[in-house]
């Protein structure tokens, strides 16, 4: 049987062509879920949804806008009647050092990654009346700081997501809503592509025992596990998908 047969799922930031969210949407669709892709641009979100299969939908939603989050979830409920899984994947990075972070930088990065995760969860939870699963996208940057892509404010936002994951997991466990996080390591997507010299890349790969970058599909496998009943007794936890980077 398919792992997500008959489930409905929302994936935020799911329209980036080489992105993690899109790979999750595809894997969810392959496992029998109906998927709503939320992203900034309506046309891109709709096209992506169509590309992964006929019964899916794309909705424009800026996750930093609380009304937009509620509106998007309402649209899904109106169309499908219920919601089983929310994947809070939308995120942005800024390669800044601490002393260069201006208030606007801080707001942008904290808003999309952390505030967006809270707002979408607030909108989704009341509809998960038969239980449900929320999968939050954190990062190895939360666990060991930095890296060259996200700044310290990104590390802080992703660490904040781990705190939010645990607090909300505790709060909603009695209602059968499981809330977990994924901490990807170095994954080859648009966030990481084209911004690296060969030397930088070799340096990163030396820190990864498995000796390769991860793929969006590597992360998607973990998201399928956390969204499905295979992880029925997992809540408030985080799973590293990093090729052994923290060993």
Q: Encoding tokens for residue 209?
A: 């025992």
Active-site annotation holds for 233: no
DSSP H helical segments within 35-115, as ranges? 42-52, 66-80, 103-110
SS3 56: coil
Is residue 137 at the binding interface for ligand NAD, with CB under 6 A as the rule? yes
Distance CA 215, CA 185 (A): 10
Is residue 190 at the binding interface for ligand NAD, with CB under 6 A as the rule? yes
Judged by beta carbon, residue 20 or residue 168, the one nearer ligand NAD is 20
Task: Give me the DSSP letters along 114-148.
Answer: IIHHHHHHHHHGGG-BTBEEEEEE--HHHHH---S
Contacting ligand NAD within 114-133 (CB under 6 A): 116
Q: 15: closest CA among 4, 40, 92, 32? A: 40
Is residue 20 at the binding interface for ligand NAD, with CB under 6 A as the rule? yes
Contacting ligand NAD within 77-116 (CB under 6 A): 89-92, 112, 116
DSSP H helical segments within 82-240, as ranges? 103-110, 116-124, 140-144, 152-172, 198-206, 216-227
Least Å distance, CB 194 to ligand NAD, is: 12
Greatest extent of the chain over all pairs of C-alpha atoms, in Å: 52
Least Å distance, CB 107 to ligand NAD, is: 12
Work out which of 8, 27, 57, 139 binds ligand NAD, going by CB under 6 A. Answer: 139
Candidate list 28, 119, 154, 233, residue with the active-site label: 154
* Beta pairing class for 177-184 and 238-241: parallel
Q: 85: closest CA among 19, 14, 156, 144? A: 14
Work out which of 12, 46, 180, 235 binds ligand NAD, going by CB under 6 A. Answer: 12
Contacting ligand NAD within 57-76 (CB under 6 A): 61-64
Least Å distance, CB 34 to ligand NAD, is: 20
Least Å distance, CB 221 to ligand NAD, is: 14
Least Å distance, CB 169 to ligand NAD, is: 19
Is residue 48 at the binding interface for ligand NAD, with CB under 6 A as the rule? no
Catalytic residues: 154
Residue ranges in contact with ligand NAD by CB under 6 A: 12-13, 15-16, 19-21, 39-40, 61-64, 89-92, 112, 116, 137, 139, 184, 186-187, 189-192
């Amino acid at each position: 049987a398919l792992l997500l047969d008959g489930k409905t799922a929302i994936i935020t930031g799911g329209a980036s062509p080489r992105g993690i969210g899109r790979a999750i949407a595809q894997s969810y669709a392959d496992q029998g879920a109906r998927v709503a892709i939320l992203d900034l641009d309506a046309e891109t979100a709709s096209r992506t949804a169509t590309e992964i299969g006929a019964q899916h939908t794309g909705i424009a939603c800026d996750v930093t806008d609380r009304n937009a989050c509620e509106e998007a979830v309402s649209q899904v409920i109106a169309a499908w009647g219920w919601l089983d899984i929310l994947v809070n994947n939308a995120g942005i990075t800024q390669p800044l050092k601490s002393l260069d972070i201006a208030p606007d930088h801080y707001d942008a990065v904290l808003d999309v990654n952390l505030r967006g995760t809270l707002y979408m969860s607030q909108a989704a939870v009341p509809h998960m009346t038969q239980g449900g699963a929320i999968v939050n996208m954190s990062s190895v940057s939360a666990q060991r700081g930095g890296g060259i892509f996200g700044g310290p404010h990104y590390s802080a936002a992703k660490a904040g997501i781990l705190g939010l994951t645990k607090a909300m997991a505790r709060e909603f466990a009695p209602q059968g809503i499981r809330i977990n996080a994924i901490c990807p390591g170095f994954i080859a997507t648009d966030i990481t592509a084209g911004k690296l010299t060969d030397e930088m890349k070799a340096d990163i790969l030396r820190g990864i025992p498995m000796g390769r970058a991860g793929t969006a599909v590597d992360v998607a496998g973990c998201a399928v596990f956390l969204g499905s009943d295979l992880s029925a007794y997992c809540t408030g936890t985080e799973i590293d998908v990093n090729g052994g980077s923290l060993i």
